[in-house]
């Protein structure tokens, strides 16, 4: 090792030691700082225009057995239906997951004959163990609007899976519900800024009324 390299290494060690020396005890244990951590500002929502021919709407796990037991999800159903109706009128591909053959929460958003319905039990990333990607590719889909329950589960899991597979991900925050507001909050932040760059750079947070369908 050269003299310069040794000096550089020694300097780096000294700086690191100095940083450790001034850090408060427990600084690497986030639970000790929990009450003093300042929340970041809410994500900036952006209006988006989608091309129906190359865009799909995913409705993930909107069943009576889970959504029906979550007040925030039940409250979101009319908003979801309004987005669903616009997407269907625009001729977009609509895909559903109803694990275990679960019953849709509202017949107004029920799948039509021939639409993509995945009923296999599965986790938060709906690509795993399914032919979802095959169906999206067959439809020449490039952009996907993700709606589901729960936000921190299927929203983050499938939204991240989409981004990592090269899709543009549209995240209408009022169509992704959770058991409580905090779960929605940290999931929204993950997709906006907290997640890996491949996810945040390919995701757009919006509101359902800010999604426009080009003709």
111 CB neighbour count, 10 Å cutoff: 14
Right CATH for 48-213 from 3.30.470.10, 3.40.50.850, 3.60.20.10, 3.40.1190.10: 3.40.50.850
What is the C-alpha to C-alpha distance for residues 78 and 184, in angstroms, rounded to an integer? 18
Domain ranges for the chain: 3-32, 48-213
* Phi, psi of 81, deg, nearest 5: -65, -40
What is the C-alpha to C-alpha distance for residues 163 and 178, in angstroms, rounded to an integer? 21
Q: Which pLDDT tens digits describe the chain residue by residue (215 residues)? A: 555 555 555 555 554 555 445 555 556 899 999 999 999 999 999 999 999 999 999 999 999 999 999 999 999 999 999 999 999 999 999 999 999 999 999 999 999 998 999 998 878 999 998 999 999 999 999 999 999 999 999 999 999 999 999 999 999 999 999 999 999 999 999 999 999 999 999 999 999 999 999 87
Per the CB < 8 A criterion, the answer to whether 204 and 168 are in contact is yes
User: Which pLDDT value is given to residue 15?
Assistant: 46
Apex CA 99: angle with CA 93 and CA 100, to 5°?
Answer: 135
Per the CB < 8 A criterion, the answer to whether 133 and 173 are in contact is no
What is the C-alpha to C-alpha distance for residues 145 and 151, in angstroms, rounded to an integer? 13
């Amino acid at each position: 090792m050269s003299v310069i390299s040794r000096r550089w290494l020694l300097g780096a060690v000294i700086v690191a030691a100095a940083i450790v020396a001034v850090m408060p005890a427990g600084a690497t244990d986030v639970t000790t700082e929990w009450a003093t951590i300042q929340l970041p500002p809410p994500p900036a929502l952006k209006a988006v225009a989608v091309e129906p021919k190359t865009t799909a709407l995913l409705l993930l796990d909107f069943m009576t057995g889970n959504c029906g037991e979550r007040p925030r999800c039940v409250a979101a159903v009319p908003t979801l239906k309004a987005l669903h109706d616009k997407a269907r009128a625009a001729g977009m591909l609509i895909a559903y997951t109803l694990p275990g053959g679960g019953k849709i929460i509202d017949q107004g958003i029920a799948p039509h004959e021939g639409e993509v319905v995945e009923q296999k039990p599965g986790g938060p990333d709906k690509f795993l163990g399914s032919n979802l990607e095959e169906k999206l590719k067959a439809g020449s889909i490039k952009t996907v609007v993700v709606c589901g329950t729960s936000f921190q589960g299927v929203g983050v899991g499938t939204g991240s899976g989409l981004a990592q597979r090269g899709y543009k991900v549209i995240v209408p925050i009022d169509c992704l519900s959770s058991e409580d507001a905090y779960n929605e909050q940290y999931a929204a932040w993950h997709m906006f800024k907290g997640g890996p760059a491949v996810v945040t750079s390919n995701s757009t947070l919006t509101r359902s009324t800010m999604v426009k369908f080009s003709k």
